[in-house]
Amino acid sequence: MKFAASILTLSLGCAFLASPAAAQGDAERGAKLAYTCQGCHGIAGYRNAYPSYRVPKLGGQKAAYLVAALQGYQDGTREHPTMRAQAASMSDEDLQDLAAYFSSIAKDTVAAGGSDTAGIEAAQTCVACHGQNGIAVSPNWPTLAGQHQDYLEHALNQYRDGTRKNPVMAQMAAPLSDEDVAALVRYYASLKGLETTVVE
Ligand code: HEC
Ligand code: HEC
């Protein structure tokens, strides 16, 4: 990036942290930007009005996936109107910084595999990307462990009906029956992982 840009950040008071070639975001700046997100993402169990499902947990989510998700709202491959409005004005730097902040909120999550046999069986085709314990194996893929059950169901149904566009997940979700979806979302929601970023 240009030096002019880093000189500008001097006035923001954290110039020494801002590397001109920063490949990853500034979690501290992200925490400040995230203030506007907490009204929904920072309230445990807060619901989207219609259709009704819980606003997804972002704490501990993978950074590159968070950036991709926000870009999806920017380019319309994800259609949620409020999130599209939220993402519309974000710069690339904002996306990186927000992702750095939310992904940094991770406790010791790589744990408990769960004991839901129907869920474990249905999840066999998912582990290659979403991990043995629902913790994604690459930063590009979302962690599912601990996510709200009704949000996971909403997401899978969106891949199934094509309202959320992603070629990989469209293919993964297409053969699932309603029973498969029910077992999968119950299983992933029961695992330890993502957290609501509750405001103190
Ligand atoms: C008015 C409530 C509201 C506000 C404010 C809000 N969000 Fe969201 N957010 C939602 C809802 C609802 C969804 C799920 C939308 C969907 O189904 O696609 C969502 C989805 C997301 C996702 C996708 C999560 C995933 O697992 O795929 C990200 C990332 C996200 N929001 C980030 C943010 C950020 C960053 C901010 C602040 C700049 C923010 N949101 C502000 C309600 C909100
Ligand atoms: C080849 C890798 C791969 C496999 C296998 C895979 N997924 Fe995914 N999954 C992804 C990617 C990439 C995304 C993000 C897509 C997007 O941006 O919408 C995703 C997104 C999701 C989401 C949305 C998460 C969120 O926070 O919004 C759910 C739910 C999900 N996958 C469930 C599953 C289930 C259940 C299976 C097994 C039946 C599965 N996936 C198999 C790569 C994979």
pLDDT digits 0-9 by tens, 69-115: 999 999 999 999 999 999 999 999 999 999 999 999 876 555 556 77
pLDDT at 50: 86
Binding pocket residue ranges, ligand 1, CB within 6 Å: 36-37, 39-41, 48, 55-56, 58, 66, 69-70, 78, 80, 82-83, 86, 98, 142, 154
CB-based contacts of 171-180 (< 8 A; 24+ apart in sequence): 172/125, 172/126, 180/122
Distance from residue 158's CA to the centre of ligand 2 (Å): 12
- Ligand 1, atom 17: nearest CA belongs to which residue? 80
CA separation, residue 76 to residues 36, 65, 84, 156, 168 (Å): 21, 16, 7, 18, 17
Dihedral of CA atoms 136, 140, 144, 145 in degrees, nearest 10, equals 40
Number of the ligand closest to the Cα of 167? 2
pLDDT band at 24 (very low <50, low <70, confident <90, very high): confident
Binding pocket residue ranges, ligand 2, CB within 6 Å: 56, 68-69, 72, 125-126, 128-130, 141-142, 144, 152, 155-156, 164, 166, 168-169, 172, 184
pLDDT at 198: 81
Counting ligand 2 atoms within 8 A of each CB, the residue from 79, 120, 126, 153 with the most, and so the one to mutate, is: 126
pLDDT at 88: 97
Alpha-carbon distance of 29 to 60, in angstroms, equals 17
pLDDT at 200: 55
- Give the number of the atom of ligand 2 that is nearest the alpha carbon of residue 61: 26
pLDDT at 62: 95
| Mean pLDDT for the stretch of residues 36-49 | 92
What is the CB neighbour count within 10 angstroms for residue 177? 9
Number of the ligand closest to the Cα of 97? 1
pLDDT of 165-187, one tens digit each?
999 999 999 999 999 999 999 99
pLDDT at 111: 58
